[in-house]
Structure 1
Amino acid sequence: MTRVLAISAGLSQPSTTRLLADRLVTATRGELGDETAVDVVELRDYAHDITDGLLTGFANQHLRPVLDQLHAADGLILVSPTFTASYSGLFKSFIDLVEPGSVQGKPVLLAATGGTERHSLVLEHALRPLLAYLRAQAVPTAVYAASADWGSDADLNQRITRAASELATAVRDQPQHERTDPFTDPVPFEQLLHETTTR
């Protein structure tokens, strides 16, 4: 089964960030079909856990399943509100906890919300470079929704549809490699010790 995970970094409830995430999820599910499992995670619900993770260096039992979901997903939808011309601190703090390699080569749809169209470059100047650093495969169309887009949203719908189609294509086209848990078949300690002593 194809798995897509949407991450919403909205701070308020309800939030336009979550609203945009939901619309992107609906469009993506429509492109990929009913056999797709799509989950939405609101980082607001994990704010304390994310802070604890940054302070301790590891994710607690509440946050760990989210990071595992992210690693296991075939595609990602990442949506952040815009603060001071960049992604939110909550969004960046969560990304800082993502293990290196977890999103490498993974198809990602980038999206952001903000009060005015002037902040739309957050997608190209903040989010896209961040995902390039993580070596994820960001789809060409990123979606920005300003406050004005929610009143007459024909153009927003068009962008959502195009981005969802690109994500679905990238998810379908990626090689199906088997994801294995490194702890399911551990190397015995005696073998590791022997290899160390024979060097």
Structure 2
Amino acid sequence: MKLVVVTAGLTQPSSTRLLADRLARAAGERLGGAPEPVVVELRDLAVDIAGAFVTGFPNTRLRGAIDAVTGADGLIAVTPVFTASYSGLFKSFFDVLDPRALAGKPVLIAATGGTPRHSLVLEHAMRPLFAYLRAVVTPTAVYAATEDWGGGGDAYADGLADRIDRAAAELADLMRRTGPAAARPAAVETGGPSVNGPAADGPSSGPSVDGDAGADVEEVIPFEEYLASIRPSS
């Protein structure tokens, strides 16, 4: 089972990366025998992401991150809170993805901020974003305020530890139920999405966010049918 972590922290070290690592560790323990998760640090890709918006094509380094995310069996996505929402860098990365790339993929969402009052960002911003992308988001989302990091470093408050454990267990369960990404029905052509459609001097190397609605699209399983297939039988 391939687990990929996307973290949008801007400082080094950052509480966003710290939370991402704790979630990945907890999920990995529940998956048992899974390979080490792949971590995508968006701060290192900021210029590449901006370039993809300007040119319409991801460069080699950004293409590698996109392929890792689209090929994952499960995803952990963590952002700091800026102006009561996810960061612009976090949103920009998911804007670069083909809008069908996460269809049916288990995702755990998490965020960090200076005050507990921003915790609703998980429900009013992040969950709608991944619902639009047709991901299967875990019921438990994790928010960590400054006060949740009890003693700094590896120490954190009991309440945060409980949320991490519960969310990680839900993600691992979803990943087992959905199975490896390679075995799922194909929902998207993953060859080089273009952010703003075909370039002026040539064709796009893949599907365009603003492309022709009549282009060939592989069959997508209706979301209601997909959810019914992963629910435990009564």
Q: TM-score range by the shorter chain?
A: 0.7 to 0.9
Match of residue 113 from structure 1: 112
List per-residue Cα deviations over 1:70-127 (Å, max 9, x = no partner).
1110000000000010000000010100112110010000000000000000000000
CA contact (8 A) 1:113 1:144 kept: yes
User: How many Å separate the matches in 2 of 1:103 and 1:136?
Assistant: 5
Q: Which runs of 5+ in 1 are unaligned?
A: 185-199
Would you identify which runs of 4 or more consecutive aligned residues in structure 1 move more than 4 Å? 178-184
Match of residue 193 from structure 1: none
Match of residue 129 from structure 1: 128
User: How many Å separate the matches in 1 of 2:107 and 2:69?
Assistant: 11
Q: Which amino acid aligns with 1:143?
A: V
Q: TM-score, normalised to structure 1's length? A: 0.88
- SS of 2:101's equivalent in the other structure is coil
CA contact (8 A) 2:142 2:164 kept: yes
Q: Is residue 2:154 matched to residue 1:154?
A: no
How big is the shift at 1:162?
A: 0.2
Match of residue 6 from structure 1: 5
Q: Which amino acid aligns with 1:57?
A: G
User: How many Å separate the matches in 2 of 1:179 and 1:62?
Assistant: 27
Q: Is residue 2:27 matched to residue 1:23?
A: no
Q: Which amino acid aligns with 2:160?
A: L
- Size of the aligned set, in residue pairs, is 183
User: How many Å separate the matches in 1 of 2:130 and 2:71?
Assistant: 17
Alignment RMSD (CA, Å): 1.8
Q: Which amino acid aligns with 1:99?
A: D
CA contact (8 A) 1:72 1:179 kept: no
Q: Is residue 2:43 matched to residue 1:44?
A: yes
How big is the shift at 1:179?
A: 7.5
CA contact (8 A) 2:101 2:190 kept: no
CA contact (8 A) 1:49 1:62 kept: yes
CA contact (8 A) 1:47 1:90 kept: yes
Q: Which amino acid aligns with 1:88?
A: S
Distance 1:178 1:142, change over 3 A: closer
User: How many Å separate the matches in 1 of 2:160 and 2:5?
Assistant: 18
CA contact (8 A) 1:53 1:59 kept: yes
Q: TM-score, normalised to structure 2's length? A: 0.75
Distance 1:153 1:102, change over 3 A: same
- SS of 1:62's equivalent in the other structure is helix
Q: Which runs of 5+ in 2 are unaligned?
A: 151-155, 192-234
Match of residue 172 from structure 2: 168
User: How many Å separate the matches in 2 of 1:125 and 1:146?
Assistant: 17
Higher deviation after alignment, 67-76 or 167-176: 167-176
Q: Which amino acid aligns with 2:145?
A: A
More helix by share: 1
CA contact (8 A) 2:81 2:118 kept: yes
User: How many Å separate the matches in 2 of 1:125 and 1:67?
Assistant: 25
Percent identity among equivalent residues?
56
User: How many Å separate the matches in 2 of 1:133 and 1:179?
Assistant: 19
